[in-house]
Amino acid sequence: MKVLVADDDPGSLLVAKAAVDRSGHECLTATDGDEAWAIFLEHQPDVVVTDWMMPGRDGPALCRAIRARDTDLYTYIVLLTSQGSRDDVLAGLQAGADDYVTKPLDPFVLHTRLLVAKRVTTLHADLAHYRKILSQQARTDPLTGLNNRLKLTEDLTQLHVRSRRYQEQYCIAMCDVDNFKSYNDIYGHQAGDQALQAVGAALADVARSSDGVYRYGGEEFLLILPNQSPHGAKNMLERALHAVQALNITHSGDPTGHLTLSAGISAFTPGHHPDADTVLGDADAALYTAKATGRNRVALAP
């Protein structure tokens, strides 16, 4: 572990550092609260052992500053104090400390606190890891591995706000696999799932790294294209349609004999400021136009 010891008393600081070193941990030291805070921000230690009374930030103030940070990383805090009254102990714990040790410091006592700190910080690291995995799973379509509608809502909201603020343009493309119901009826749902996976992968291959590709639902996919003009978006979606055709997925229920894709595009441009839901609805209407005029094509919203 990385342990920060903050104490303005040189003797106490030396004893604490020796105890940390003997416990096999990396030790950082600070001689006042402000220096301790600067070191904390730079190195993100796993454990902070801090004196109560110090120049600059005192121990409780340092505790509160650490706890106020919005992060998945957990820092275990041990407060060193010569003030052993119940009220003082309670005040330290309320400020964010996990434990306290009275002075003069006993190296054995600090060693035992570090053992506890190791267990607690490891547990918090595991929980943060699993929270991250669950968050990713909640935003991922399990069939295609693409982003899902929850992630779409988050990304589109963020992009729309940024585009309004900086007068930037973006496009949305709503895509739908043509005659997919008949494909499922003819070839079965397992083949349908495989076809959706292949189409999703083809769209992801065509998209830029800055674009967002989402499974919108059923056989529908959606692309968010930041800083893209309607003309550029149309060219990209035409490449996407060709990429789907190049998969050569046989579909006897489609006039072309193969699985194809239709797409509708809408744009948010400077000087034209609909809300994000309107831009999304315009893309859906443009998709309907592409379907109504023969499928296997791209339509732009007016």
How many other C-beta atoms are found inside a 10 Å radius of the C-beta of residue 6?
28
Count, in order, helices (H) and strands (E) of the chain.
10, 10
Walk across the sheet containing 99-102 and list its strands: 26-30, 2-6, 47-51, 76-81, 99-102
Of 42, 168, 219, 220, which one is the catalytic site residue? 219
Q: Is 219 a catalytic residue?
A: yes
Please give the Cα distance from 249 to 92 (Å, whole number).
67
Residue 144 burial (10 A CB sphere; 0-12, 13-18, 19+): buried
Residue 11 burial (10 A CB sphere; 0-12, 13-18, 19+): exposed
Catalytically annotated residues: 219
